[in-house]
Amino acid sequence: MRQWKGAWLPHRRVPGVLSFQRRFTPRPDDVLLASPPKCGTTWLKALSFATMARAAYPPGDGDHPLLRLNPHDCVPLVDSLFSAGQEAKLDALPSPRLMNTHVHHSLLPPSVAHDPGCKIVYVCREPKDMVVSLWHFYKSSKTTEGSTYTLSDLFENACQGKHSNGPIWDHILGYWQESQATPRRVLFLRYEEMLRDPVDSIREVARFLEVLFTVTEEAAGLPEDIMKLCSIETLRGARADKMGANKVFVKFPHTSFFRKGVAGDWVNHMTPEMAQRFDAIVEEKLHGPGLSF
Ligand code: A3P
């Protein structure tokens, strides 16, 4: 891990993040999905893609891209394209481009961070659930390095903010403050609220991106169709593995992106002492600015 401007990054990601920051050419109608890892990125990618591309790909279509590709293959992770020398793929995307990043708000290219045109949809979740989800994800890695990481190691690092794109409290705070300052540019979502009312979240994303559902689309049940298409069960069952389509995360099988999909699973993995310790750290960092989990 490397620390850069207060953020922890896996060292192999640093060149890509640097290039993203220095060489990214924005378009005024870009849409960037941002999140700490394991906080609902895959779900947000799926429902944003399904919402924005609904004219070309109706959600009820049995050959919808989300039924044959991993959502990460539908919405590119910007810095990974830079680190693979494939930024030309970003130029080839039709407008409005839909992309994603895990970097802190402070590490975004200045053009993206402050461009009045570019919209950012951010999702985060209860930090203890993020830690547990991250641990399961590492365990599902096809490499030995990932699968031997213990929860106790990960937890100790997370308490110091030292995890991929950590500290999570600074990550959340950066985007939250930006969403307060410029609510038309940054939409701040919580995974738990999306779970509580997924259809409402889909409408909220559509409203924010200015692709509102028409009366006819509402009457036809399009938001509900998108919700079903993007449900964890449907996405888990996509033919992505069989088609060998998941190119971005080659170390992880398609199904590792779709584990339980519930709130509060930390209780099955952390002791009360661990939970108290982590809560105290998060509360100290976020409570002052008025955020709580
Ligand atoms: P759990 O490990 O707690 O189950 P990310 O996409 O940022 O990597 O986040 C992964 C988390 O989102 C995992 O949480 C995963 O199960 C959950 N998830 C993935 N797709 C989902 C969906 N369609 N609906 C709800 N949760 C989903």
CA–centroid distance, 40 to ligand 1, in Å, is 5
Q: Whose CA is nearest to atom 14 of ligand 1?
A: 261
Inside any domain, residue 282: no
Tell me the per-residue pLDDT of 35-77, one tens digit each, with 9 for 90 and over.
999 999 999 999 999 999 999 999 999 999 999 999 999 999 9
> What CATH number is given to the structural domain containing 7?
3.40.50.300
In angstroms, rounded to a whole number, what is the distance separating the alpha carbons of residues 93 and 117? 17
Let me know if 102 is a catalytic residue. yes
What is the spatial distance between Cα 168 and Cα 138, in angstroms, rounded to a whole number? 17
Distance 268 CA to ligand 1 centre (A): 17
> Is pLDDT of 148 > 70?
yes
pLDDT above 80 (res 88): yes
> Could you tell me if residue 131 is inside a domain?
no
Residue whose Cα lies nearest atom 10 of ligand 1: it is: 38
The DSSP-derived string for 45-58 is HHHHHHHHTTTTS-
pLDDT band of 105, cuts 50, 70, 90: very high
pLDDT at 248: 53
Domain that holds residue 87: 2-126+165-261
Is 173 inside a domain boundary?
Answer: yes
Domain presence at residue 229: yes
CA of 223 to the centre of ligand 1 (A): 20
Tell me which of 116-120, 123-127, 198-202, 213-217 is least confident: 116-120
Given the CA of residue 258, which atom of ligand 1 is nearest to it?
Answer: 16
For ligand 1, atom 2: residue with the closest CA = 133
Number of helices (H), then strands (E), belonging to the chain: the values are 18, 6
Residue 276 lies in a domain: no
* pTM, two decimal places: 0.96
CA angle 92/79/195 to nearest 5° reads 95
Is the residue at 155 inside a domain? no
Asked, for residue 138, whether it belongs to a domain, the answer is no
With respect to residue 36, please indicate whether it lies within any of the assigned structural domains. Answer: yes
Q: Would you say the CB of residue 234 lies under 6 angstroms from ligand 1?
A: no
Question: How many domains does the chain contain in total?
Answer: 1
